[in-house]
Amino acid sequence: MAFDLSFVNQVAHCAEQILAPLGNRWLHVRGVAERACQISRAFDTSDSTDLVVAAYLHDIGYAPALKNTGFHPLDGASYVRSLGYERLASLVAHHSEARFEARLRGLEDALNAFPRECSAVADALTYCDQTIGPTGNTVSLQERVVEVFARYGEEDIVSQALRQSQPYLSLAVERTLTRLHAYGLEATIN
């Protein structure tokens, strides 16, 4: 494996303890982390570790004990920052183009307290999140968008943000698929 297995296992255990009571949320997170493990070979050891760990932590802000603003990327990032992991906090804060929803919620300044990383790792985290459905199943980006609209309704703030972020999500997914192809991983990734 190309990542720090001990650290990943510690974070995985922590995430499971916090998120397993939330049912499908844990299934989704586990699926995202499995996808991150599958593609981690396209990154060096440090980046692959951060990708897999961020995958386990990306939705940690849904945990009731961590809710502060009610916006899970921000609440999760605050928790991760409190543990001393600045890069991971930033990846969690900005996963899947959270900036669009933050703007709609009036939380843009709070989110911007976390530097937005524009990197292959940030793209890969978005790819993993957007190609895993709510129960951990593999989906296309288009299927994921349809599912979110059905779950939240067309006018919900989550759906509004998703509509705005779609072009950026598509680019992140495409850049990641191109990277996977360059590393010969496309045959193993749906």
**What domain count does the chain have?**
1
Domain membership of residue 190 (yes or no) is no
Note the pLDDT tens digit of each residue in 101-160.
Answer: 999 999 999 999 999 999 999 999 999 999 999 999 999 999 999 999 999 999 999 999
Domain membership of residue 143 (yes or no) is yes
Task: State the pTM of this model.
Answer: 0.95
Distance CA 173, CA 128 (A): 8
DSSP 9-51: HHHHHHHHHHHGGGTHHHHHHHHHHHHHHHHGGGS-HHHHHHH
Domain membership of residue 189 (yes or no) is no
Range of the domain at 164: 5-183
Domain membership of residue 24 (yes or no) is yes
For residue 156, the domain's CATH number is 1.10.3210
